[in-house]
Amino acid sequence: MTINKTLVYKKIPQKSLVAGEHIVVEDLEIDLDTVPKNGLLVEILYVSLDPYLRIMMRDPKIKYNIDPFPVGSPVIETAVVKILKSDADGFEAGETILANVPIAQYARIDNLKDAELQKIDNPYGLPLAHFLGALGMPGLTAYSGLYEVGKPKVGETIFISSAAGAVGQVVGQIAKREGLRVIGSVGSDEKLKFITEELGFDAGFNYKKESPHDALPRLAPDGLDIYYENVGGDHLEASLCNMKRHGRIVVCGMITTYGIPPLEQKPVRGLGQLDACQIKMQGFLVWDAEYGPAYHQEHQKRVQEWIHEGSFQAKLHVTEGIENAATSLVGMLEGRNFGKPVLKVK
């Protein structure tokens, strides 16, 4: 048996998730000599760190579209893995694929379906970590939500919260290509500079220095056509107050509500605007048929091409070393990442 450092979910967080308390990197053991029947033995190269993990580590009483992790079990995420041994049809040792695995150094995959294995089609030889970011679930979320709910039109104005994040940066760059005026909110001046100077956003603000209630009327005096929602709270409230008629609110996520029972979430004013301005608000899950599956092919084709030709930025925030798994996950939830957070295990 070999030591397999693994991120384990130890305790349900009542408020913030604390590294070392609720999630801990532990020395588990793994058998690297054999392969599970009809399964795979893999080495984990890159692991994605995504906000929905907070939902997976919540009080089970809080309703959600997915059951939380059982306490005491490893934290599961999507990863780029290298197959060490294969007993599964269609998968060869040496191949690099995507799989849902424990955040760890190695994994034994018994159930191919649960692990949601995906081949990586990478004709331009792009860096593999992008398949966890702009070319992965966050990128497909950004892409499908923007088109399916946002229905962007040339000349419209879109506001994106968490604009430098894994989803926000993709939404903003696509919206620019579609001819929209793009406004973003971020949590630091460095990120503000990034979205306006490097990603080409038309404007933005640091929400730690200026409330969305002040910033939006200043930056979008004619109002918003689309709000791409990643945070909830004040951002949602201010967007509601500044939407135009027939505005669309793409509810990709609301990180400020994750793990908080509905009636303890920060209340939001201004919902009468939905009626007043005929606004549509739509929550979605990337795996629902009309979102990710419907847009997967065009998302891969277009975004791979753009990254390859250098016209699209896919900024990664890479932390190295499995021993940093807990702190980097918490850092992501607290917005300390700058770009799509990825853990480079090896």
Residue ranges that bind its own copies, judged by CB under 8 A: 55, 63-65, 232, 236-237, 240-241, 245-246, 251-254, 257-258, 260, 262-285, 288
- Residue 305 in 3-state DSSP? helix
- Residue 147 in 3-state DSSP? helix
Give the nearest distance from C-beta 176 to its own copies in angstroms: 25
> How many beta carbons lie within 10 A of that of residue 90, not counting itself?
9
Closest CA to 199 of 166, 167, 172, 161: 172
> Which residues fall within 8 angstroms of residue 23, CB to CB, at 6 or more apart?
7, 8, 9, 10, 17, 57, 75, 325, 326, 329, 330
Strands 203-206 and 316-320, bridge-based pairing: unpaired
Give the nearest distance from C-beta 58 to its own copies in angstroms: 10
Task: Using only the alpha carbons of the chain, give its radius of gyration.
Answer: 20
Q: Which is nearer to its own copies, 158 or 281 (CB)?
A: 281
Give the nearest distance from C-beta 161 to its own copies in angstroms: 13
Q: Which is nearer to its own copies, 286 or 343 (CB)?
A: 286
Residue 22 CA to residue 104 CA, distance in Å, equals 16
Q: Which is nearer to its own copies, 9 or 284 (CB)?
A: 284
Q: Which is nearer to its own copies, 108 or 235 (CB)?
A: 235
Q: Which is nearer to its own copies, 208 or 246 (CB)?
A: 246
Q: Could you give the angle at the alpha carbon of 159 between the alpha carbons of 153 and 161, nearest 5°?
A: 140
Give the nearest distance from C-beta 311 to its own copies in angstroms: 31
Give the nearest distance from C-beta 63 to its own copies in angstroms: 6
- Residue 62 in 3-state DSSP? coil
Q: Which is nearer to its own copies, 37 or 63 (CB)?
A: 63
> Which residues fall within 8 angstroms of residue 89, CB to CB, at 6 or more apart?
none
Give the nearest distance from C-beta 276 to its own copies in angstroms: 5
